[in-house]
A and B are shown apart, each in its own frame.
Chain A
């Protein structure tokens, strides 16, 4: 993938010099042109790959990841290729040999499993803890959301799949705490990750949904979102852990990123996106 990106970039910078040259020689000397193209691809990809790490990040980090990527690139010059998905899916991929260097999970259990099974170098460390919100595109009054959820006005409640997404698990715990889990379940629709829940909320196909506070920070000024923070006492803290994976153990850039995520600079970014940090 990187190859194509770098290629288009290079060509786009100098369209006038490269394009006529290709066209001119195309009929007469195709082999040479091919060689030239491959050389171009090869050299340009080399320069990029020198400082590159692959990060697997939980879906709730989608909004904040972009900011972290930019900030980290500015500080170190290292590019992060981020794969965003539900923690469960990423762990399944990593356990089956996906070449990620660092894993930012949405909980502690998944990275601990990776560590136990020998896919991570060290035990996971908490980098932030998440904040669950209940959110809608309509201003329907959230003061008493447990009653609201049961009202006829709410037809569908979007929740991340509790079996694989920690925010979904937290939402279920909270609903159980309020004593409305069974009633809410009859209206529940399950997103395969918190990202899909966000889609369901922002497109309005679900009337309301449980998601992460960072969504509001990201979309707050583009889409009108109404929300309230769910009382953190009603669910187990969503402690999110980071580990360096076996694949990244020998990559110094991975260590740099790991230390960056635990640094005050990253912590202030997490805080701005509604995460709690120590």
Chain B
């Protein structure tokens, strides 16, 4: 059996999760502090991938990435980058698709922390960044792990968007979920079963691991 779709999926999910940790954490922190109209709008936008049909996202990304007009044309003309049918394009799509899984839980966790925690840190002369990095983040470790794992798992499960903008290129955009679909269409049920079983097992282990970890962490003083 060709294992490249599985590796590709793991690679995609891994990179997406890392990127979302980098982008999502500061963003969640910004959202967690105070309320303003702009923040509500931003929060709504990043929550939308959760409820939008993947086909809507796929369709707009297809148009946006098209080298014929708009953003895609600009990227193509200025940087000679084509996002549609490429692995970087899939990463960008996955980041958009999974952003609510990262930002939502982290933001809630930050809001649950007592304000006095940050205030104490400020009175001790720590900067905002130091407070965030050394006081707040360590205190939301369980949520952080849950978000990261769910982001990873959600990217594993990505299908509709990839189907629309991926182009099913072996080794580049044929991820495991597409390989399953492809095998079923070819009536190659043995391969479909192999891929599915692997995906099934990985997701099962991941979710179980999160549950166990959270149960153990829940005994901690602040969580």
Contacts and interface: CB of A to CB of B under 8 A. Distances in A.
B195 interface: no
Nearest to A207: B67
A203 B169 contact: no
B75 to A, nearest CB: 12
Classify chain B: how many residues form its interface, as a range: 20 to 34
Interface in B39-79: 62-63, 65-69, 72
Interface stretch (B6-14, B103-111, B114-122, B179-187): B179-187
Contact of A137 (B68, B168, B169): B68
Interface string B145-186: 000000000000000000101011100000000000110111
Contact of B187 (A92, A161, A189, A207): A92
Interface string A70-90: 000000000000000010110
A204 B68 contact: yes
A95 interface: yes
A246 interface: no
B196 interface: no
Given A155-B82, A190-B169, A88 B187 contact: yes
A86 B185 contact: yes
A12 interface: no
Contact of B67 (A95, A155, A163, A164): A155
B185 A203 contact: no
B101 interface: no
Nearest to B186: A163
A91 interface: yes
Interface of B: 62-63, 65-69, 72, 82, 84-85, 163, 165, 167-169, 181-182, 184-187
Contacts of A207: 67
B68 A189 contact: no
Contacts, number: 65
B168 A205 contact: no
Contacts of A205: 62, 65-68, 72, 84-85, 165
Nearest to A92: B187
A136 to B, nearest CB: 11
Contacts of A107: none
Contact of A189 (B66, B85, B184): B85
Contacts of B67: 155, 204-205, 207
B167 A189 contact: yes
Interface in A190-218: 190-192, 199-200, 203-207
Contact of A91 (B82, B85, B187): B187
A34 B181 CA distance: 41
B63 A203 contact: yes
A188 B187 contact: no
